[in-house]
């Protein structure tokens, strides 16, 4: 495994990030413009095994709503259980710089919830976005 992690910096990486996000979170799919806007305020990165897209990540800095850094590592289902998530997660945690860390995980993403629990995250709340039927789980590193 040779995971290459690249910051979203052009149309190719932006579209790759969008593809992973939308496949893993179909209930909150993002347009290209929404991803472009997020890239101005968050660290968005894509992960490749060689040249093959395997995942993406988001590191969201603290805001007026929360003092926590949000860390989200996503790996496409076909590439899970190969160590990619672990590598991507550790990379994101380096950016968190010792802050309180939270993650928002679609409740139906059982693999993601288990991964977070395995890494010491605990459920803080479950919430629904307007119009959604599948809730998100807010988890905080305990």
Q: Give whole-number Cα distances, 4 to 20, 44, 80, 91, 110, in Å.
A: 15, 14, 16, 11, 25
% of residues, the chain, pLDDT over 70: 99
pLDDT at 64 over 90: no
Give how far Cα 30 sits from Cα of 24, 55, 79, 88, 100, Å. Answer: 11, 16, 22, 21, 26
- CB of 49 closer than 8 Å to CB of 84: yes
The per-residue pLDDT for range 13-60, each reduced to its tens digit, is 999 999 999 999 888 899 999 999 999 999 999 999 999 999 999 999
Q: Which residue has the tokens 């789980």?
A: 137
**Nearest-5° Cα angle at 77, 20 to 117:** 100
SS3 63: coil
Q: Which domains does the chain have, with CATH numbers?
A: 3-141 (3.40.630.30)
Question: Which pTM does this prediction carry?
Answer: 0.87
- In this predicted structure, what is the pLDDT of residue 132? 80
């Amino acid at each position: 495994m040779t995971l290459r992690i690249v910051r979203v910096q052009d149309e190719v990486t932006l579209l790759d990030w969008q593809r992973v996000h939308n496949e893993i979170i179909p209930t909150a799919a993002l347009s290209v413009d929404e991803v472009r806007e997020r890239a101005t305020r968050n660290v968005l990165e894509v992960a490749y095994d060689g040249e093959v897209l395997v995942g993406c990540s988001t590191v969201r800095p603290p805001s007026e709503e929360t003092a926590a850094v949000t860390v989200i590592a996503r790996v496409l289902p076909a590439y899970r259980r190969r160590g990619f998530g672990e590598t991507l997660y550790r990379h994101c945690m380096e950016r968190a710089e010792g802050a309180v860390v939270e993650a928002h995980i679609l409740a139906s993403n059982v693999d993601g919830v288990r991964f977070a629990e395995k890494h010491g995250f605990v459920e803080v709340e479950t919430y629904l976005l307007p119009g959604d039927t599948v809730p998100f789980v807010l988890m905080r590193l305990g």
